[in-house]
Chain A
Amino acid sequence: MPWVLWIPALIALALVVLPVVGLLVRTDLGRLPSLIVSSTSLTALRLSLETAAISTLACIVLGVPLAIVLARSRFRGLRVLRAVVLLPLVLPPVVGGLALLYLLGRKGFLGYLLQVTAGVQIPFTTTAVIIAQTFVAMPFLVVSLEGALRNSGDAYEQVAATLGARPWTVFRRVTVPLLLPALGSGAVLSFARALGEFGATITFAGSLDGVTRTLPLAVYTEAESDIDSAVALSLLLIVVAVVVIAVARPRALDQVGGAERLR
């Protein structure tokens, strides 16, 4: 490795670490405990953890089958479909939120249908928060699972079939167990993304205290009135993020679950 690489590498590291240091320096340590345990921040924290957990679950329940379909089936338009799945990943979240609003909002066709038939209104509810988070987080799970599936190939599944296992047995006893490492890292990535979600949430779900105001939204709201409180909430988010990374490591970092099987 040429030593010159150290220079940009250190700059990159500084770019990641220094802002956090800046935040720590700015913190009013005296008021910090009371700010963190204030009802506003605890409510936001609880809402954030709950919605992010449910979103992650939704990502798994819907994303695992989607990844398997994308990796294992063959039909026309599959490549286009693969690209479409990545859309929330590249789309600015605000645009995603707006799109959700015009699908499920009162003026959206699905929203109108739900309103008329079931009397259900989705925007500006906790459900909307979960939908927005799932929308932005799912591609992380699908992409990492699909990569692992394509890497490991279907040789194990084929052997299982010759051993007399029906498709559902193959799925249950071979596909899913082999997918677990990638599923773990994918779920952690999705959870982290859902936890940090802001743009789509504020557009589609608004910022109602206790209902849709998750931690990132609370930080934004507090920043306008009480900057110390915003900083304290930010620290809270950082702590949660660090815990997530600590739990997820090293799986999330060496992502590809299939790689270890190729030995």
Chain B
Amino acid sequence: MGDGREKSHVTLHVEVELVRGSFELEVEFDVAAGSVLAILGPNGSGKSSLLGSLSGLLRPHRATISFGGRPLHDLPPHDRAVGLLSQDPLLFPHLSAVDNVAFAPRSKGAGRARAREIAHRWLAEVDAAQLADRKPAQLSGGQAQRVAIARALAGEPDLLLLDEPLAALDVDAAPAIRGLLRRVLAANDTRATVLVTHDPLDALALADQVLVLSAGRVVERGPTREVLSAPRTAFTARIAGLNLITGTAVDEGLRAEDGRLIAGMPARDAALGEPAVAVFAPSAVAVYPADDGHPGSPRNTIGTVVTALEPYGSVVRLRTEAGLTADLTPAAVADLRLEPGTPVQLSIKATTVTVHPAAAP
């Protein structure tokens, strides 16, 4: 993505209102076909209820959901043309991988042979062709999730719902599946995708737009990188505030757009020479006075000027002219006599910087 591809005018339009006991969800958003919206929020923020409303498995009190003008909110789940992928692959245990993938084409009326043909094509698409005849019990977590992705896509859904798709995978399997999702999401421009996650890195890797949900309300929305790197609310900053530097993936980390080398650890799905983004948390940034000489082992040292100091709970978030943020204790702020205009050096250990492939422009 980020290739300036023409987005179609077909849009998923969603307005949902739902009350459950004392919990109220009220959300409204649009997703253009071919793009991915990430819904970011902590547990209990209403993400799952929202997804349930979209798939039709949950009936909200009031909902207007349409795709390309076709109203979906009154349709039962099987008539909505949705694909659902959750953290548990939920492959039907009595069917082989290929029959799992063939399930949607079969349900939509394809004959046995034709459905299998479609299923084999999708299994190949997710690099799982060799798993076709295995039963789900014989698959690893990552393999099962691959097959589940193929199954969700084989129905050619208008609307793809991803519910924490990487949350249950171990650290070895997650990057590969994230890369696979990036690839299959980018390969289609007629489908709207909604990704629900609590991990800002998933949003960064997969989504064009982000919507931040807190206690059933939208607290912030916008282009992914903008929302994550410059959150406008304290809530977003706390759950998703990240330092992002864009550039190109290189051997040692990332070559920033201004030519500076940011040393970091490449993520498993990062490819050398491709557009990438270096990601690190504000808590990973150390702050030194500008005249302190070399601050030691950290590889990345960036000279800049403090622009703002904002309290976030027990820490103070320092904003700088370079667009980077750092979290400090109030005591450190006092010791260093930091205030807007103070020149400082920011220092980030290379091991705390991860270089991810870039998703959104």
Contact between A162 and B92, CB atoms less than 8 A apart = no
Question: B92 is contacted by which of A156, A158, A169, A263 (Cβ under 8 Å)?
Answer: A156
Q: Which chain A residues border B77 with CB–CB below 8 Å?
A: 158, 161-162
- The 3 lowest CB-CB distance pairs between A and B, nearest first, are A161-B77, A163-B104, A165-B107
The interface bits of chain B over 66-95 (1 if a CB of A lies within 8 angstroms of the residue's CB, else 0) are 000000000011111111100010101110
Tell me the A residues contacting B by CB distance below 8 Å: 155-156, 158-167, 169, 173-174, 177-178, 180, 261, 263
A159's closest neighbor in chain B, by CB? B90
A173's closest neighbor in chain B, by CB? B103
Q: Is the interface of A mostly helix, strand, loop or mixed?
A: helix
- From 283 to 304 in chain B, residues with beta carbon under 8 angstroms from any chain A beta carbon are none
Instruction: Tally chain B residues at the interface, Cβ within 8 Å.
Output: 26
CA distance A163 to B90 in the complex (A): 12
Contact between B90 and A177, CB atoms less than 8 A apart = no
**Is B120 close to A, CB under 8 A?**
no
Contact between B78 and A174, CB atoms less than 8 A apart = no
The interface bits of chain B over 38-70 (1 if a CB of A lies within 8 angstroms of the residue's CB, else 0) are 000000000000000001110000000000000
Q: Interface centre among A163, A166, A173, by most B CB within 10 Å? A: A163
Q: Which chain A residues border B103 with CB–CB below 8 Å?
A: 160, 163, 165, 173
Shortest A161–chain B CB gap in Å is 4
Q: Which chain B residues border A261 with CB–CB below 8 Å?
A: 93
Contact between A161 and B90, CB atoms less than 8 A apart = no
Contact between A164 and B104, CB atoms less than 8 A apart = yes
Shortest B113–chain A CB gap in Å is 17
Q: Which chain A residues border B76 with CB–CB below 8 Å?
A: 161
The interface bits of chain B over 133-157 (1 if a CB of A lies within 8 angstroms of the residue's CB, else 0) are 0000100000000000001100100
CA distance A1 to B90 in the complex (A): 37
A and B contact pairs by CB, cutoff 8 A, 14 listed: A156-B92, A158-B84, A159-B92, A161-B78, A162-B56, A163-B151, A163-B155, A164-B79, A164-B104, A164-B108, A165-B107, A177-B92, A261-B93, A263-B137
Contact between A164 and B151, CB atoms less than 8 A apart = no
CA distance A162 to B54 in the complex (A): 10
Question: A162 is contacted by which of B55, B88, B108 (Cβ under 8 Å)?
Answer: B55
Contact between A163 and B107, CB atoms less than 8 A apart = yes
- From 94 to 118 in chain B, residues with beta carbon under 8 angstroms from any chain A beta carbon are 94, 103-104, 107-108
Q: Which chain A residues border B93 with CB–CB below 8 Å?
A: 178, 261
Question: A177 is contacted by which of B88, B94, B107, B137 (Cβ under 8 Å)?
Answer: B94
